[in-house]
Amino acid sequence: MSKKSEGVRLYWTTLLGFFIEIDSLNTTHEKCEYWLNEYHHWLSIHRIVIGSDLLESDVLSHVLLHPDFMYDKEGNSFRSSLDRVQMTVLDGERTGSCMLSNLSGDDCVFNEFPQFRGELEGDHIWPYSLGGPTNTRDNLILNRVLLCKHCNRSKSNSISDYHWDNAWWMEKRLSLIARRKSR
């Protein structure tokens, strides 16, 4: 099994385990404490792990991002205040080449035929629907890839081509969530 396939399977099984564990807790305060304990565990190991433990650490960080866990101790959701849904794409970027190869390693066949490709669209590398951040004008590379409409629709919110060790933005994002959950 490839690292990507292993990561996808591990992500979904770990997320399911979180759902089961959190569902067994009675209050949102307890649920936040559980999340914070898992976050502190991740924080203590993510820079020192290697091998298969590194994949488990990367997967755990992505599970902690899930939007279903973005609420405070009173049960108020704070997802909408973390970032905006709209992806920033500058006008000059809309006519470049589709960056499908950055995700899957495959070249977009429409790059050779821009008249059929159309303008490029911004897409989240780690899906917004799974907790991925949206970029801003100040940080155009944050969790962003430019795809043609065909590749963007095809990818949707799939994580099958995700590179698990490429989330340099993760620590800052989780720190923001932890601060909100700790209040």
pLDDT digits (tens, 9 = 90+) for 22-69: 999 999 999 999 999 999 999 998 888 877 688 899 999 999 999 999
**By the 8 A CB rule, do 125 and 151 touch?**
no
Q: Are 148 and 156 in contact (CB under 8 A)?
A: no
The pair of structure tokens assigned to 142 is 């944050």
Q: Are residues 77 and 105 in the same domain?
A: no
111 and 166 share one domain = no
With beta carbons less than 8 A apart as the criterion, state whether 155 and 103 touch.
yes
Q: Cα(118)–Cα(104) distance, rounded to whole angstroms? A: 20
| 114, 136: one domain | yes
Same domain, 145 and 97: yes
Least confident piece of the model among 16-25, 43-52, 89-98, 108-117: 43-52
Compute the average pLDDT of residues 62-89.
Answer: 90
Based on the fold, state whether residues 140 and 74 are members of the same structural domain: no
Contact (CB, 8 A) for 133 and 169: yes
The residue behind tokens 């601060």 is: 179
Q: Are residues 33 and 61 in the same domain?
A: yes
Burial of 14 (0-12, 13-18, 19+ CB in 10 A): middle
Which of 9-13, 71-75, 116-120 is predicted least confidently?
116-120
Same domain, 34 and 60: yes
177 with 145, same domain: the answer is no
Confidence band, pLDDT 50/70/90 cuts, at residue 8: very high
> What is the per-residue pLDDT for 99?
94
Those residues with Cβ within 8 angstroms of residue 179's Cβ, 6 or more apart along the chain or in another chain = none
Co-location of 75 and 17 in the same domain: yes
Q: Does residue 68 sit in the same domain as residue 130?
A: no
CA-closest candidate to residue 62, choices 172, 164, 139, 175: 164
Q: 143 — alpha (psi -120 to 50), left (phi > 0) or beta?
A: left
Quickly state the pLDDT bin for 130 (edges 50, 70, 90).
very high
Together in a domain, 100 and 145:
yes
Residues 150, 178 share a domain: no
Number of domains the chain contains: 2
Q: Token pair 């399977």 is at which residue? A: 9
* Cα separation, 144 vs 135, whole angstroms: 7
Tokens representing 50 are 């290697």
* Residue 167: closest CA among 63, 67, 70, 15: 63
d(CA 23, CA 110): 45
Owning domain of residue 166:
3-82+162-182
Q: Which pTM does this prediction carry?
A: 0.89
For the ranges 48-62, 104-118, 120-134, which has the lowest average pLDDT? 48-62
